Structure 1
Amino acid sequence: MRRRAMITAAAAGVLCANSLPHLATAAAGRTMLTPLAGRESPAAANALWGSANLLAGLLLMRACSGSSAEAGPRREAFGIGVVAFSAWAVMGERLLGFNSAPHPDGPP
């Protein structure tokens, strides 16, 4: 059970970290890749995708929360998920150019 809770906490970290660029993109009224509408997903799609990721991450973290004695390792696993996603996102952007298409309004 402990291993499952740690994996769940790491997945929660990945989902919460993934929500941030989508929510920021939506707030800025820009486009960014989502599974909902592809590479040029509008702000509304990013808001929906970012909100869904944040909600799912928070629900997963809530589901795996145990006693306060178990909170430390689960917070660490959450942080590992955040770091893993962040590294993947930076490398994916650098190597694969997920969001490299020029923006119609000019440079970002």
Structure 2
Amino acid sequence: MARRHCFALDLVDDAALIAEYEARHAPGAVWPAVLAHIAAQGVEAMEIWRTGDRMVMIAEVADDYPRAVAAPAEIAEWETLMWRFQRALPHAVPGEKWVPMQRIFAFGDQQ
């Protein structure tokens, strides 16, 4: 059974940059090497949601996630490009992008 991980990250609060960021994540726009690397790490499904300049990423991952896999050169290029649009959360450690979130409520746990 897949596990779910959630992460948060902010975007630069600029409408044009946000529009470009979304365009770079439209169907077919993400570089194939990036998608392959995400899958190789054990990610089975992933979604990114946005409100304003705040984003949440939800990843369904294999039991052995994260798998140690070598990153092709395109990954560093993609990450450098993405930093143009992204800004770390105030409580992120230096260099950290997507900050893991802690689940504090589950509807099923309430019953």
1 or 2, which has the higher strand percentage?
Answer: 2
1 or 2, which has the higher helix percentage?
Answer: 1
State the TM bucket, normalised to the shorter chain.
under 0.3
**Rg (Cα) greater in structure:** 1
TM-score by length of 1: 0.26
